[in-house]
């Protein structure tokens, strides 16, 4: 199992205003070493970006490049990047000469490094804390380039990732607070379908009586057919209805959310 809160108990938390020194570049002897033994949780927007980058379906991406674990409190599945640790090659998208072959669409966890993030519910809101992962071999910390956590996140293009993964995290945290039954296989299957396999979820929405059952307007259906991002937002609302017992009427307006930043 994987616990999304584990860093919080072991390290001093950083705020968005906290400062640290770091710079990673090809001139460092340790360059790409952090990619050889990573533990990367792939969130829904990571999967959207990688699938488009590779020109394959989400189903193919999940089958070829990922493994599944269960999150400790919610008992919902998490998707991990499958690394080739046994042969020392690490991340499947790492080329020993070129470096990261999916760099422009690399996962949010890779963008955030050398920071990690822990989250917790505070009433109805989510509080995030950040932690500095100081790997012994990493020479990036000796580079005298100073950042705040907020500056680093902006520089690494994390805004879109935060926006489109926020509801996924909210569902996991709120579900965990319910003390869910460990044998709820239906919840795990549904969460996997909606959050991670956007192609199967689109077929489920458009090729079954789903739209009629939830009385989804035709103009909404057109949006869901064309836009992965809006379908993901819609999927979050569906999960909140089924897993968190929220009002089903919210599903009829999937685009009326925080506008996406440019990517």
One domain for residues 100 and 212: no
Residue 134 has pLDDT above 70, yes or no: yes
Q: Is residue 259 part of a domain?
A: no
Q: Is residue 91 part of a domain?
A: yes
- Residue 69: per-residue pLDDT: 95
Flag the least confident range among 14-18, 90-94, 251-255: 251-255
One domain for residues 199 and 79: no
One domain for residues 200 and 220: yes
> Where do the H-state alpha helices sit in 100-227?
108-112, 149-155, 159-177, 185-196, 198-206, 210-213, 218-226
Q: 70 pLDDT band (50/70/90 cuts)?
A: very high
- Residue 255: per-residue pLDDT: 53
Closest CA to 5 of 182, 240, 169, 178: 169
One domain for residues 160 and 204: no
Closest CA to 223 of 233, 212, 213: 233
- Residue 85: per-residue pLDDT: 54
Full residue range of the structural domain in which residue 106 is found? 6-170
One domain for residues 26 and 110: yes
Q: Is residue 262 part of a domain?
A: no
- Residue 129: per-residue pLDDT: 93
Q: Work out the average pLDDT over 5-14.
A: 64
Q: What's the number of domains the chain is made of?
A: 2
Residue 181, class by beta-carbon neighbours within 10 Å (0-12 exposed, 13-18 middle, 19+ buried)? exposed
pTM for the structure as a whole: 0.90
Q: Which of 170, 188, 213 is the last residue of a domain?
A: 170
Q: Which of 150, 170, 190 is the last residue of a domain?
A: 170
- Residue 5: per-residue pLDDT: 56
């Amino acid at each position: 199992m994987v616990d999304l809160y584990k860093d919080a108990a072991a390290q001093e938390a950083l705020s968005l205003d906290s400062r640290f020194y770091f710079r990673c570049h090809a001139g460092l002897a340790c360059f790409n070493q952090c990619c050889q033994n990573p533990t990367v949780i792939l969130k829904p927007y990571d999967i959207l970006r990688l699938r488009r980058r590779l020109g394959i379906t989400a189903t193919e991406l999940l089958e070829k490049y990922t493994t599944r674990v269960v999150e400790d409190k919610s008992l919902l599945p998490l998707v991990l990047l499958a690394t080739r640790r046994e042969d020392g090659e690490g991340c499947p998208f790492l080329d020993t000469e070129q470096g990261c072959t999916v760099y422009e669409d690399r996962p949010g966890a890779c963008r955030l490094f050398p920071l990690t993030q822990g989250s917790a519910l505070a009433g109805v809101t989510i509080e995030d804390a950040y932690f500095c992962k100081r790997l012994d071999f990493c020479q990036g910390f000796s580079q005298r380039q100073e950042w705040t956590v907020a500056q680093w996140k902006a520089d690494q293009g994390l805004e879109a990732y935060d926006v489109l993964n926020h509801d996924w995290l909210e569902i996991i945290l709120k579900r965990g607070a319910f003390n869910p039954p460990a044998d709820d296989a239906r919840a795990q299957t549904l969460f996997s379908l909606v959050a991670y396999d956007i192609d199967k979820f689109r077929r489920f929405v458009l090729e079954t009586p789903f739209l009629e059952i939830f009385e989804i307007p035709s103009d909404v259906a057109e949006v869901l057919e064309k836009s992965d991002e809006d379908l993901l937002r819609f999927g979050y609302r569906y999960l909140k209805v089924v897993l968190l017992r929220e009002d089903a009427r919210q599903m009829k307006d999937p685009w009326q959310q925080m506008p996406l930043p440019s990517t």
